[in-house]
Amino acid sequence: MVRGLADAMAEKGYIGTPVADIIKRAGVSRETFYQQFDSKLDCFLAAFDVAEQWLIAVLSEIVADTKDVSTAQRYERLFGAYLDPEVVRGLLEQERQREQKGAVQPPQRGMPPAQRLPGWPAFEAQLHEVRAHGLSRSEGEILPGISAMSAPVFDSTGAIVLAVTAIGPAAIFDTRWDGEIAVALKACADQVSQRLGATPSRP
């Protein structure tokens, strides 16, 4: 059923995928579906859990092999928006100093040149945008033709602990702040946050 959800969502998106489509692809009855899951969102979260270990393994390999990741990329605007501003500013300035000294490693073969780091006023404006929308988005900034959006997940203390991220080809990836992907990401992140003991976000 989780695979059925993944296949259907790849074609129609989260909102456009009805439970009927999931059970048809999975070859199970509606009764069987609701014996396993309370809702489509519950099935989506199960799919997220299944993919989590695979994603962690892949990202671990990428991070281990990447030497030129800047603060803005590694911690991302999403995390920076919910951390102590002075801490984020200090990290950004450290990276800018390394960049000015030429200490940043050249990009790996086949990767585009790293973008120059913004100054604090520009970066602070980006952090404000993230907090205003509750999401971070990238439109071809890291890789040309690739867009991404991330929603924050918080624990019981209100601290950001991870991000739920969607990535796809820019030509078909909906990066609107109130678009289908944004709505699904925020709903998923809120559910995970609640599981970690966070207070539900306001509508």
Q: Are residues 91 and 56 in the same domain?
A: no
**C-alpha torsion sign, points 88, 94, 97, 101:** negative
Average pLDDT over residues 72-95: 79
Please, what is the angle between helix 40-65 and helix 19-26, to 10°?
70
82, 99, 133: which is the final residue of a domain? 133
89, 111, 133: which is the final residue of a domain? 133
Q: Are residues 202 and 138 in the same domain?
A: yes
Q: List the CATH number of the domain containing 52.
A: 1.10.10.60
Position 85 pLDDT exceeds 70:
yes
Q: Are residues 166 and 125 in the same domain?
A: no
Q: How many domains does one find in the chain?
A: 3
Domain that residue 182 falls in: 134-203
Widest CA span of the chain, in angstroms? 63
Q: Are residues 118 and 153 in the same domain?
A: no
pLDDT attached to residue 109: 54
pLDDT per residue as tens digits for the range 149-197: 999 999 889 889 889 999 888 888 899 999 999 999 999 999 999 988 8
Q: Which of 35-49, 50-64, 108-122 has the highest mean pLDDT?
A: 35-49
Q: Are residues 89 and 75 in the same domain?
A: yes
Q: Are residues 185 and 143 in the same domain?
A: yes
Spatial separation of the C-alpha atoms in residues 95 and 146, rounded to whole Å = 24
Q: Are residues 90 and 108 in the same domain?
A: yes
* Residue 90 in tokens: 């200090």
Q: Are residues 147 and 164 in the same domain?
A: yes
Specify which residues 139 forms β-bridges with: 147
Q: Are residues 124 and 72 in the same domain?
A: yes
